[in-house]
Amino acid sequence: MFFVSAGLLFYLLITDKLLYANLEINILKSYYIYITIMVKESTSFSSINKLSEKLKNQELSSVDLFEVCIKRINKFNPCLNSFITVINQRAYKDAEVIDKEIRRGVYRGQLQGIPFSIKDIISAEGVICTAGSKIMSNYVSKIDSTVVARMRKAGAILLGTNNLNEFASGITGINPHYGSSKNPWNIDRISGGSSGGSAVAVATGMVPVSLGTDTGGSIRVPSSLCGVVGLKPTYGKVSKYGVMDLAPSLDHIGCITRSAWDAALVLEIIAGHSPLELHTKNQPIPSHKKVVTETKDKKLSVGIPKQYFFDYLQQEVKDIFSDVIDTSGLADSILEINLENTDKILESWRSIRFAEATEIHMKWLTTRPNDYSDDVRKMLLEGNNISAIDYIRAHRLRTEMRREFLKLLKKVDVIVVPTTILTAPRFDDLESIDINGKSLEVREALLRNTILFNSIGLPAISIPVGLTKDQMPVGVQIVGSLFEEEKILSMAYKYECINNSLTKFVPPLI
């Protein structure tokens, strides 16, 4: 009896130990899985520089990165409305191909295996391109735009298309057909537009980079309101082939990223002459990322305009801008500069923007007027009121202002101003806003500091520099001379390095 009891006891002890051992193994497995998931999740907010290194060294696979991005899209898009179309299966297959290339030692460059998205006005072959409209809701692109073709050639993986104002005609991110994109810092506030969905996607780590368009501030404004980096290159630096026009002489193609270095890399890939688009300049494209890294410590002089850009600023925007200029290390020397004709900036931009957009949409405006939203139809009809004389005068004025700025940019390396004069407004407060005792239309207020640089075609980048007391981002805009993107990118990168801003601007929603 004793022998049986001892044997049973021994059996129970051994079994119990095995149970505990299995439990420990399962705990370790669960912990490993948890850590793996967290490591993958953390990649959402890494710079492309770090991601590309991990991909090349096979510490991270392209499929891993794809899955992280898709997981975030599935989690946040229902609330934030950043994407209109997501192309899961095709993107997954592309990721698998990239992983096979990397394992074979085939290296295309630092965008290889990096997911990206595009504003839903940029063509990608076989993908629906709605332009945020009812009219184009079923249109499937038959071609790749030049910028998409170049991103794909570099090994980047297209995940989908981002929400926007209807036909890119707006600055709020509000869309009556597909729902409005929401600001991830506070979903009661607008994302800005018209590339609002793109800014939201990058701000929340749904993708590391999105390509957008900018006609009056449509890359820089949502980037400022959502706390990310938005680059509008020089007019003619990037081909617009395969991108639907809004106002052709004002339209620019650029990118939204989390880092100025990332923006430099993307610009290096998408820039350059295209025989399919007349406005692109046939000139060598430097290694922007290399120049930015090597010149970030170079002393650059900053010009601060006395007129126009600081006439109406929310107090916290003014305070944060002043702090950036005075204490952040952004400026090595500062010169106040005088501007002329500032009272005509809005009028001249508006004449060109409205007249050209109306001409683009004339056929649909005649045959399908009720398929436009009320706001867009109203803007297009206003274009009919722009006379040929007004249009010619507006072009003459933009030439004069470009000449003035190019002259000023021989005295200083860059010009620095707030990107927007206010933080993101609430959805229920979009009629007008009071700043320093003056009532401004919200649209006019959001566009105020960006439209000039579309008119005169100079490169400009918006970088996040601070948060207000209610935790809303504030952006600063750095402007350079024609085709001198290296200066504005290197200054932006210098600010990032000094102030560790890459890790600071993660929305509370995340």
Phi first, then psi, for residue 382 (nearest 5°) are -65, -30
Catalytic residue from among 46, 62, 119, 462: 119
Tokens at residue 249, please? 């002489």
Tokens at residue 47, please? 């710079």
Cα–Cα distance for residue pair 483/139, rounded to 1 Å:
35
Cα–Cα distance for residue pair 292/371, rounded to 1 Å:
46
Distances (CA, A) of 231 to 77, 97, 219, 222, 292: 24, 30, 7, 11, 14
Task: Convert the pLDDT of each residue in 386-440 to its tens digit.
Answer: 999 999 999 999 999 999 999 999 999 999 999 999 999 999 999 999 998 889 9
Provide, rounded to the nearest whole percent, the portion of the chain with pLDDT above 90: 82
Half-sphere exposure of 270 (CA within 13 A, CB side): 35
Q: Look up 5 and say whether it is catalytic.
A: no
Cα–Cα distance for residue pair 94/91, rounded to 1 Å:
5
Tokens at residue 397, please? 């004025």
Cα–Cα distance for residue pair 229/223, rounded to 1 Å:
6
pTM of the model: 0.91
Cα–Cα distance for residue pair 189/80, rounded to 1 Å:
11
Q: Look up 119 and say whether it is catalytic.
A: yes
Q: Is the dihedral of CA 117, 119, 120, 121 positive or negative?
A: negative
Identify the residue with better confidence: 209 or 327: 209
Task: Convert the pLDDT of each residue in 105-154 to its tens digit.
Answer: 999 999 999 999 999 999 999 999 999 999 999 999 999 999 999 999 99
- Domains, the chain, in order of start with CATH, read 45-503 (3.90.1300.10)
Catalytic residue from among 117, 133, 218, 455: 218
pLDDT of amino acid 44: 62
Cα–Cα distance for residue pair 287/303, rounded to 1 Å:
26
Strand, coil or helix: 243: strand
Residue 251 has pLDDT above 60, yes or no: yes
Tokens at residue 483, please? 């085709």
Residue 27 has pLDDT above 80, yes or no: no
Tokens at residue 145, please? 């735009």
Q: Look up 223 and say whether it is catalytic.
A: no
Q: Which residues contact 419 (CB under 8 A, 6 or more apart)?
A: 217, 220, 221, 223, 224, 449, 450, 462, 475, 476, 477
Host H or E run for residue 32 = helix 2-42
Residue 510 has pLDDT above 90, yes or no: no
Lowest mean pLDDT among 10-19, 264-273, 311-320: 10-19
Cα–Cα distance for residue pair 453/477, rounded to 1 Å:
11
Catalytic residue from among 47, 82, 194, 224: 194
If pLDDT is split at 50, 70 and 90, which confidence band does 26 have? very low
If pLDDT is split at 50, 70 and 90, which confidence band does 486 have? very high
Q: For 284-302, what is the mean pLDDT?
A: 87
Q: What's the chain's average pLDDT?
A: 91
Pairing of strands 460-467, 473-479: antiparallel
Cα–Cα distance for residue pair 92/24, rounded to 1 Å:
35
pLDDT of amino acid 413: 96
Q: For 224-238, what is the mean pLDDT?
A: 98
Residue 29 has pLDDT above 70, yes or no: no
pLDDT of amino acid 42: 55
If pLDDT is split at 50, 70 and 90, which confidence band does 14 have? very low
pLDDT of amino acid 509: 83
Are 280 and 236 in contact, with CB atoms under 8 Å apart? yes
Residue 35 has pLDDT above 60, yes or no: no
Tokens at residue 7, please? 């044997």
Are 205 and 45 in contact, with CB atoms under 8 Å apart? yes
